Every structure is written in structure tokens, then in C-alpha cells.
Structure 1
Amino acid sequence: MVISDSSYAFVNYSKEANVLCISWKLKPDTEQFRNLYWQVLQFVKNSPNIRFYSTDISRIGPLDAEQEAWLSREYYPQVSDIIGEDIYAAVIFSEGHFKALVNNYIASQLLPLHEFIHFNYFTVKEEAMDWLLYMQKGQDLAIFAKS
């Protein structure tokens, strides 16, 4: 199901896989970035139990510091309030971005930690989806074991 398709991003939700995917096409400006994430959150509010996400930034490179800070300080707390459970997020970036991160790693400014979000990082979309599906199966087994 397509949630949004603009010149700068494509967002869809796969009900079968229970994964919401954001694929950035072009580097968004601040307003586009925030509006897209608010649109995603509105969809999540109306579709409970979406706990698995994929964000593909391979075409745009890293998010800037302002975007990261906004997500951490404003957006993620609202996500936590709405979902109320742990979520799993696969971030996909280019091989070049990955190499730059490894070669130029510098600890960033301290932002709040959000322990309810479990991030994992990939350079191949299929591997990201495999991880999300694996995490879902683990959650299903944990629920089954409790009953």
C-alpha cells in the first residue's frame, strides 16, 4: 500500500511483511523531511501494531545534524507514546556512506537515547528486509512461549 509518493520520497506499507518502508529519492529540505515523518506517524496512529520499519537513505547520504536532532528530540518520543512497544528499524545506506562512516567516525553530540528503537544498519535492502522478518519471527516465538 502506497502511503506517499513524491519527488523526494516513496513510502509504502507491506501488510504481508508488516513493514513500513521509507525510500528517500532526493535530499529533502527541513519542511519536506518533517512533513513526511508526520505523515508516516499519522498512518501508524491509524494502523496499530506496525513495529517494523525500513529507511533507505542510500540515494541521499546521511541525514544532517538538524534532522537527526529533530527525530531524536521531537519525533521518537511521540512514536514511543503512540506505539508503546519496542520497534525495529533497518537503515539502508550506500557502500560509500558506510566506508565514510567507518573511516571518519567521530562521536556525535549527545542526543537522547531511545531504547525502544532497535536499529540495525545495512548496505543491501534485501538483507535489511531479512533482518526485519527474522525479528518478527523472534517476537512471534516470544509471544507463543508466554502463552
Structure 2
Amino acid sequence: MVISDSSYAFVHYSKDANVLCISWKLNPGMEQFRNLYWQVLQFVKTNPAIYYYTTDISRIGPLKAEQEAWLSREYYPQVYNIIGRDIYAAVIFSEGHFKALVNNYMATPQLPVHDFIHFNYFTDREEALDWFLFMQKGQDLALLAKS
């Protein structure tokens, strides 16, 4: 199901996999960035059982510090207020971006830590989806063990 398709991003939800995907096409300005995430949040409000998310930044490179700070300080707490449980987020970036991160790593200013978000990083979308499948199976087994 397509949630949004603009010149700068494509957002869709796969009901079968229970995964909401954001694929950035162009670097957004801060207003576009916020607006897209608010759109996603409105969708999540009506579908609070979505626990798996991908953000594909392979075309745009890393998010700006201002964008990351806004997500951490303002957006993620609101997501938790709606969902109320752990979520899993796969960030997909290009091989070049990965190499740049490894070769030029610098500590960034401390942002709030959100223990309810479990991030994992990939250079391949299929690997990210495999991780979600693995996490879903693990949760199913945990539920069976409790009952």
C-alpha cells in the first residue's frame, strides 16, 4: 500500500511482511523531512501494530545532524507513545556510504538514547527484510514459550 510518493521520497507499507518502508529519492529540506515523517506518524496512528521499519538512504547519503536530532528528540518519543513497545528499524545505505562511515568515523554529539528502537544497518534491502523475518520468528517463539 502506497502511503506517499513525491519527488523526494516513496513510502509504502507491506501488510504481508508488516514493514513500513521509506525510500529517499532526493535530499529533503528540513520542512519536507518533517512533513514526510508526520505523514508516516499519522499512518502509524491508525495502524499501531507496525513494529518493523526501513529507511533507505542509499540515494541521498547520511541524514543531516539537524534531521537526526529532530528524529531523536521529537519524533521517536511520539512513535513510542503510539506503539508502546519495541520496534525494529533497518537503515539501508550504499556501499560507498558504508565505506565512508568506516573510514571517517567521528563521534557525534549525544542524542537521547531510545531503548525501544532496535537499529540495524544494511547495504542490501533483502538482507534487511531477512533480519525482520528472523526477528518476527524470534518473537513468535517467545510468545509460544510464555503460553
- Fold in common (TM above 0.5): yes
2:61 aligned counterpart, secondary structure: coil
Root-mean-square deviation (Å): 0.5
Give the structure 2 partner of residue 9 of structure 1. 9
Give the structure 2 partner of residue 139 of structure 1. 139
Q: Match of 1:15, as an amino acid?
A: K
Q: How far off is 1:139 after superposition?
A: 1.0
Give the structure 2 partner of residue 71 of structure 1. 71
1:146 & 1:83 partners in 2: Cα distance?
A: 21
Give the structure 2 partner of residue 47 of structure 1. 47
What stretches of structure 2 of length at least 5 have no aligned partner?
A: none
Per the normalisation by structure 2, the TM-score is 0.99
Q: Match of 2:101, as an amino acid?
A: L
C-alpha distance after superposition, 1:41-83 (max 9, x if no partner): 1100101210000110000000000000000000001011110
2:99 & 2:23 partners in 1: Cα distance?
A: 21
Per the normalisation by structure 1, the TM-score is 0.99
C-alpha distance after superposition, 1:111-139 (max 9, x if no partner): 00001000000001110111011111111
Runs of 4+ in 1 over 3 A off after TM superposition: none
What stretches of structure 1 of length at least 5 have no aligned partner?
A: none
- Count of equivalent residues: 147
1:144 & 1:91 partners in 2: Cα distance?
A: 29
Q: How far off is 1:40 after superposition?
A: 0.4
2:7 & 2:144 partners in 1: Cα distance?
A: 43
